[in-house]
Chains A and B, each alone.
Chain A
Amino acid sequence: MTHPTGQQITRDLVRPLLLTTWRFYVMIALFGAFVVAGLVAWLSQVYFGFGLSGINWPVFWGFYITNFVFWIGISHAGTLISAILRLVNAGWRRPVTRCAEAITTFALLIGAMFPLIHIGRPWLAFWLIPYPSERLIWPNFRSPLVWDFFAINTYLTGSLLFLLLPMIPDFAVVRDSTTGIRQKIYRVLALGWRGTPKQWHRLESAMQIMAIAIIPVAVSVHTIVSFDFSMAPVPMWQTTIFGPYFVAGAIFSGIAGLIIAMAVLRRLLHLEDYLRPLHFENLGKLMLVMALLWGYFVFNERLVTYYGNGPHEMAVFWRTQRLSFAPLYWTMVVCNFVLPLILLGIRRFRTITGCVIASFGVVIGMWLERYLIIVPSLGAKYLPYSHGTYTPELVEVTITVATFAAMCLLYMLFAKVVPIISIWELKAGEHPSPALIPPATEKHQLGDLHL
C-alpha cells in the first residue's frame, strides 16, 4: 500500500472544497427539507401549544430529552477520542480527529437545542442564564438543569476551540490553493498563518493544553447530564452508577457515530487512501471495549436493582424487562451488546462493513437506552394510580428525524468548506517536529487481538 505524498494529500483533500457535483445539491436539498420540516413542527408546537407532543401526566419527559441525551452522548465521539489519542500520540488518529471533532461540535449544537424545544415556554429560556437582572432573580444554582447549562456551554466552547485551532494551518493551505473570493475568505480564516516555527510551537502548545483540558470537561458534561436523572427521586433514576454509565454510553455512541461518519465521507469524498480499514478496525476495537463496558454497567445496574427488590424500582424493572417495554429493551441489548460483540469481536467480521453495521446498531441501541431510562420510570413512578404511558406524536418524530437530517446537513456543509481530514497533520514531513507524529503504519494497529 502506498502512502500519498504531500502534494497529493493537498490535492485530494482540498478537492472536495473546490469541486461540487449535482449530487451535493440534491443531498443538501433533501436534508434541508427535513430540517425545515422540523422547524415547522417546532414552530407549530410553540404556536398551538405544547400539547401537540405526546407528553402527558405523568410522563413529562419523552422524545425531546431522549434526543438531548443522545446527541450530547454522540458529541463524545470527537473531542474526547481525539484528545486522548492526541495525548497518547497515536499516529493513526490523524485522519480521524477532525471528523470526530466536527461531530462533537454539531452534535452539541443539536443537543443543546433540545432543552429549548422541550420546555413549555421557550421564549423565557433566557431565565436559565445567570444574567444580572434588576429584580435580583438568579437561576437556581441547585438545579441540575442549570449545571447542564454551564456544562454544555463549557464543553461547546472547548470543543469549538479544539476544532478551530488545528484548522488554522489547513485554512492557510486552502488559501494557497484557491483564488478569488474564496482565497479572500480563507485568508481571513487562516488568521495570518505563515507556518513559522513560532506559530507551530504555539499551536502545538495550545492543542496540548486543550487536549488535557477537554477530557475532564467531556467526562463532567455527561456526568452532569446523568445528574438530571439521578438527582430526582424517581425509581431506577436515583442511582450512583449513572455518572460513569452515561459517560461510557456517550463514548460508546460517539465512536459509533464517528465510524458511520467516516465511512460516509470515505465513500462520498473518495478518501479511501486516507481513511483505511486500519482506522475502522482500531475504532472498532475501541467500540468493542466500550460495548463490554456498557454491558457491564447495564448488568451491574439491573442486578443491583433486582437484588435490592424495592417495590417501586421493581415496578419499573419488570416494565422494561418483561412487560410493555421488553421488546424495546431486548432490541437495545442486541444492538448494544450482542451485535457489537459478534461483529467486532470476531476478527473476520471486523471489516469496514462490519464496523458500520455494528455502529448503526449501537446508534439505535443507545438511542433506545436513553428512551428506556426516561419513559418507563416516569410512567411507573410510585403510586400506581398515577402510572401512565407515552406515545410520541408527529411533532416529536418530525423533530427527531429533522435533527438527524440537520447533523447530515451541517456535516456536508462543513466538509464543503473545511478539509475534513487535517492536511497538516497528515503531512508529517511539513511538521516542524515530525518525530512527534510518526506516519501511520500497520504498526499502529491497536493491540494485536486475534479472536
Chain B
Amino acid sequence: MDRRSFIKLTAVTGTGAALASCGNPENDFIRFIPDEMIVPGVAVWKPGVCSLCPAGCGLTVRVMDADADVVRDGQAGIVRIAAAKKLEGAPDHPVNHGGLCARGQAAIQVTYHPDRITQPLRRTGERGDGLYEAVSWDDALAEIVSRLDALEGAGNQGSLTYLTRVGRSHRAALVRDFLVRFGAPPPVAFEIFGDDVLRRANALSFGREQLPTFDLANAMYVLSFGADFLGTWNSPVAQNVAYGRMRQGRRGVRGAFAQVESRMSQTGASADEWVPVRPGTDGVLALGIAHLLMSTGAYPSDAAGRAGALIEGWAAGLPGYAPEDVERMTGLEAARVEGLARQFSDARPAVAIVGGAPLAHSNGLFTALAVNALNALVGAPGRDGGIFFTPQLDVAAAVQSGSPAQPAVALESLVTEGLAGGASPEVVFVDGANPVFTAPPAWRVREWLEQVPYIVSFGHFLDETSILADLILPDHSSLESWAEALPESGAVMAVASIAPPVMRPLHQTRATPDVLLEVGRMLGTPLALPWETFDELLGASLAGLPSASGSGALADARQAGVWSGELPAGLAVADSADTSPASVPVAFTAPEFDGDADEYPFHFLPYSSNAFLDGSLAHLPWLQEMPDPLTSAMWSSWVEINPVTAERLGISAGDVVEVTSAHGTVRTRVVVSPGIAPDLVAMPAGQGHRTFTRYASGRGENPVELLAPMTDAATGALAWAATRVRVTRVGPPDGRLILFAGSLREHGEEHR
C-alpha cells in the first residue's frame, strides 16, 4: 500500500467511523453486495408422491445440482447429480392442497439416509446377526427364481407369503397380480394401528369397505371419538386443511369441535371441549347422543336407515341409553351428555368421527357401528359437512388383469397356524412391513419367521424383520422411482397420485415392482404379466381415465403428479355387495381387558407417535429431533401418567419406571401429564427398535411389547387398547428423557 492510498483509506475510514457513531449505518457497512447480485441457485420443481403413509399426499420436489459420492458400474467417484433438496406439498393436489406434515417433510431423509442398503445382500451369518455379503443383481434374481421354481416344481406355490403394508396403490395391485398368477395367496398386510374395524363397520353401515373422508371445511360441529385426525390418523394433511377452513375459513362462522378420549391427543388439544370417558365406552356415548336426538323427535329413527338397523334397540329410540345410563357406563355426567347432544343437533351440519383407540377394544365394531349410526341419523353421509367415500379406481378392472380377488389372510392366523404345526410358508417376501417390531410379541412373529426356509426383503434398511432375511433386494426410494398411491380418503373425487422418478438412483438399488416383473419373466413358467415395466402398468391403468388436457391421464399425472376426476363406469370399485342387514343387531358389551384389575390397575394406551407413526419412521433424524407436540420430547420414549396418580405412586417427572403387563415389561421414563385419566397410562409407539439404523437402534422402548393378543370379537382385529398394566418406580431420572421445553405451563408454575 503506498502512501497515497493509505491516506485515502485513513480519510475514508475516519469518515466511516464518524458516520458509524450516529444513525443506523450498518446497512451501508454490512451489505456491500447489492441485492441484484445475489443469485439464488437455479432450482427445478418436479412432482412427487409421499409414500410414508397411505394418505398419498402430492409433493413438489425441489431439485438442484449436488456433488454426490456414488458408485456406478463398480466405480466410485464424485458425480454431479440432480438431487432432491426439499419436499413441499403440491399446491393443487386434491388431498393435501399444498400442505405437508412433519413426516412428509422428513421423507427426503429416506433417500439420503446414511444407513440405506445400497445393493443386493445375501446373508452370511446366522439369522439376526446382520452379516451380509454383497451380491450382484443377476445372482440375486437367479437365486429367487430358483427358489420360486422349486416351489412350482413341488406344486407348492401356495407357500409363498408376501408381507406388506396397508395402502392402496398400483404397486399393491401388481403384487397381488404377481401372487395370483404364481398361485400364491394374496399379500398379507398388517398394521398395528390399522383401521380394519372401521372399514368393516363402514361396509356394514354404508356399503363401503374403506375409510371415510370428512368434509370438515363445511361442518359446524365435529364430534370425534378418539380419532387423532389432525395428527396421525387417516389422511392427516387433508384433515388439517379442512380443519383450518372449518375454524377460520368462513366469514363470521366458526365450526366447533369436541373430542372424546381419555388421553389428550394432539388432536384433542385443539378441541373446544375435551370429553374423557372410560376406555371402550365411546359407542355408548354415541348412542346416548342418538337417543337424545331421537327423543326430541327432530330425528326419526328410520333416518339412519341401514346403519341404524344394525344397532339393537335403535328403532325403539335406544331406551337403554338415557343420559343417566350413559353416565353410569361411561363415567361422563348426564348433563354433559345432554350438552353434547344439544350441540350435535343444533349446530348443523354436524359430523361424528371415530378412529383409533375406541375401535381397539373387544367391542370395537360396536363402537364404530354406533358412531356410524349417529352419523346416519343426522344425515351426514354424502352431505356437505358430512362424510364421503372417495371413489376408488379399480386397478384390476383398469388393467384388465382378470385375476380373481381372493380374501386376504390375517397375519395373526397365519402365524398361529404356522407355529401350531400347520401350513407354514416356504418363502416369505417382506415388502415395507416390519411385523417383528409392530406385532405383539405374544403373536411370536419372529419365531414364525425364523422357521421359514427362505426370506427375501425389499426394504431400504435393516430392521427387525429384514435382518432375518436371507436375501435383501433394496428398493429405490420413492424419489428415485415411480411413486404412486391411490388415496383411500382425503378427497371427494377419485384421486391417483402418480409421479415419475425425481432423480437418478443414488445406489445400486432397483424398483421392487420392476424386480417382480423381471422375476415373473425369468421363472421356469413365466407369469405372463403383460407389462415390461411398472410404468407400463401405470399407463395401462390410467389409459381409460378422462384427461383434462386431452393428452392422456398419465401425461397429466406426469405433469401434475396427480390425476383426479370422475371415474368412468366400470373402473370404480363397486359398493360392497353386502347389503343384508346384520342378522343380529349389535348391542353394547362391556369391553374386556387383559390382566386382572387388582394386579394391573391401569389401562394401557399405546398410541401412534406424531413423529414415527408405528415406528417405521424412527430412522429419520429430523423426526427424532422434532419435539413431540405435547411433551416436547426428542430422541426419547416415555410413559404418560396423570399427576394425581404419579403422586400416589411416589413418581415424579422423569423418573424411571417399569410398566408391566401380563405379557411383558418395559422400563421407561415418566412424563407427568395433566391430559390423561388417572386410571390410564399411555406410551407412544415408534421407539424401542433393536435394529433400525444408527438413529433408532437401541433407543427408547416399544409399547407393543406389552400388548396382550386381545382382539375385537367381531372382526378379529387386534384390540391394542385392551391391555392392563401396573407401573412401578425403579429410580430417579437417568437423563434419557430429553425434553425441549422448560415448563409445562405458561403462568405461575414456578410459584405453584
In the bound complex, residues from chain B placing their C-beta under 8 Å from that of A383 are 746
A447 at the interface (CB under 8 A from B): no
**Residue with the highest number of chain A CB atoms closer than 10 Å, among B12, B14, B749, B750:** B750
A137 at the interface (CB under 8 A from B): yes
Question: 1/0 per position for B708-751, CB-CB distance to A under 8 A?
Answer: 00000000000000000000000000000000011101111111
Task: Give the segment of A47-55, A126-134, A398-406 that binds chain B.
Answer: A126-134
A130's partner among B17, B26, B632, B743 (CB-CB below 8 A) is B17
B674 at the interface (CB under 8 A from A): no
In the bound complex, residues from chain A placing their C-beta under 8 Å from that of B26 are 140
B13 at the interface (CB under 8 A from A): yes
A384's partner among B17, B20, B742 (CB-CB below 8 A) is B742
Bound Cα distance from A318 to B28, whole angstroms: 45
In the bound complex, residues from chain B placing their C-beta under 8 Å from that of A386 are 741-742
Within A355-390, which residues are at the interface with B (CB < 8 Å)?
379-380, 383-389
A141 at the interface (CB under 8 A from B): yes
A263 at the interface (CB under 8 A from B): no
Is the beta-carbon distance between A384 and B29 smaller than 8 angstroms? no
A343 at the interface (CB under 8 A from B): no
Within A43-82, which residues are at the interface with B (CB < 8 Å)?
58
In the bound complex, residues from chain B placing their C-beta under 8 Å from that of A209 are none
B745's partner among A133, A134, A380, A384 (CB-CB below 8 A) is A384
Q: A138-B29, A384-B745 are in contact. Are A133 and B750 (CB under 8 A)?
A: no
In the bound complex, residues from chain A placing their C-beta under 8 Å from that of B29 are 135-138
Closest chain A residue to B21 by CB distance? A141
Is the beta-carbon distance between A138 and B16 smaller than 8 angstroms? yes
Count the A residues whose beta carbon is within 8 Å of the partner chain — how many? Answer: 26
Bound Cα distance from A106 to B678, whole angstroms: 62
| Distance in Å: Cβ of B673 to nearest Cβ of chain A | 15
Bound Cα distance from A150 to B710, whole angstroms: 74
Closest chain B residue to A383 by CB distance? B746
Is the beta-carbon distance between A132 and B750 smaller than 8 angstroms? no
Is the beta-carbon distance between B32 and A385 smaller than 8 angstroms? no
B9 at the interface (CB under 8 A from A): yes
Question: 1/0 per position for B44-77, CB-CB distance to A under 8 A?
Answer: 0000000000000000000000000000000000
Bound Cα distance from A63 to B210, whole angstroms: 61
Count the B residues whose beta carbon is within 8 Å of the partner chain — how many? Answer: 25
Q: A132-B9, A132-B10, A318-B750 are in contact. Are A384 and B743 (CB under 8 A)?
A: yes
Bound Cα distance from A38 to B117, whole angstroms: 46
Instruction: Say whether chain A's binding surface is mostly helix, strand, loop, or mixed.
Output: loop
Within A110-168, which residues are at the interface with B (CB < 8 Å)?
130, 132-138, 140-141
B742's partner among A133, A138, A314, A385 (CB-CB below 8 A) is A385
Is the beta-carbon distance between A311 and B742 smaller than 8 angstroms? no
In the bound complex, residues from chain A placing their C-beta under 8 Å from that of B28 are 136
Is the beta-carbon distance between B750 and A319 smaller than 8 angstroms? yes
B42 at the interface (CB under 8 A from A): no
| Distance in Å: Cβ of A329 to nearest Cβ of chain B | 14
**Residue with the highest number of chain B CB atoms closer than 10 Å, among A141, A384, A387, A389:** A384
A315's partner among B20, B741, B750 (CB-CB below 8 A) is B750
Is the beta-carbon distance between B16 and A134 smaller than 8 angstroms? no
Bound Cα distance from A318 to B748, whole angstroms: 10
Bound Cα distance from A315 to B750, whole angstroms: 6
Within A308-322, which residues are at the interface with B (CB < 8 Å)?
311, 314-315, 318-319
In the bound complex, residues from chain A placing their C-beta under 8 Å from that of B746 are 383-385
Closest chain A residue to B746 by CB distance? A384
In the bound complex, residues from chain B placing their C-beta under 8 Å from that of A185 are none
In the bound complex, residues from chain A placing their C-beta under 8 Å from that of B32 are 135
Is the beta-carbon distance between A380 and B17 smaller than 8 angstroms? no
Is the beta-carbon distance between A136 and B12 smaller than 8 angstroms? yes
B408 at the interface (CB under 8 A from A): no
Is the beta-carbon distance between B749 and A134 smaller than 8 angstroms? no
In the bound complex, residues from chain B placing their C-beta under 8 Å from that of A138 are 16-17, 20, 29
Is the beta-carbon distance between A385 and B750 smaller than 8 angstroms? no
Is the beta-carbon distance between A380 and B750 smaller than 8 angstroms? yes
| Distance in Å: Cβ of B22 to nearest Cβ of chain A | 9
Bound Cα distance from A58 to B741, whole angstroms: 11
Q: A135-B32, A311-B747, A315-B750 are in contact. Are A387 and B742 (CB under 8 A)?
A: yes
In the bound complex, residues from chain B placing their C-beta under 8 Å from that of A140 are 20, 26
A191 at the interface (CB under 8 A from B): no
Bound Cα distance from A386 to B750, whole angstroms: 14
Bound Cα distance from A160 to B262, whole angstroms: 71
**Residue with the highest number of chain A CB atoms closer than 10 Å, among B12, B16, B30:** B16
| Distance in Å: Cβ of A183 to nearest Cβ of chain B | 44
Q: A318-B751, A380-B750, A384-B749 are in contact. Are A136 and B742 (CB under 8 A)?
A: no
Bound Cα distance from A389 to B750, whole angstroms: 13
A323 at the interface (CB under 8 A from B): yes
Bound Cα distance from A298 to B48, whole angstroms: 63
Is the beta-carbon distance between B750 and A141 smaller than 8 angstroms? no
Question: 1/0 per position for B283-304, CB-CB distance to A under 8 A?
Answer: 0000000000000000000000
Known: A132-B13, A311-B747, A318-B750. 6 other contacts (CB 8 A): A135-B32, A136-B29, A138-B16, A141-B21, A311-B748, A386-B742
CB-defined A-B contacts under 8 Å, sample of 22: A58-B742, A130-B17, A132-B10, A132-B13, A134-B9, A135-B29, A135-B32, A136-B12, A136-B13, A136-B29, A137-B29, A137-B30, A138-B20, A140-B20, A315-B750, A319-B750, A383-B746, A384-B743, A384-B745, A385-B632, A385-B743, A386-B741
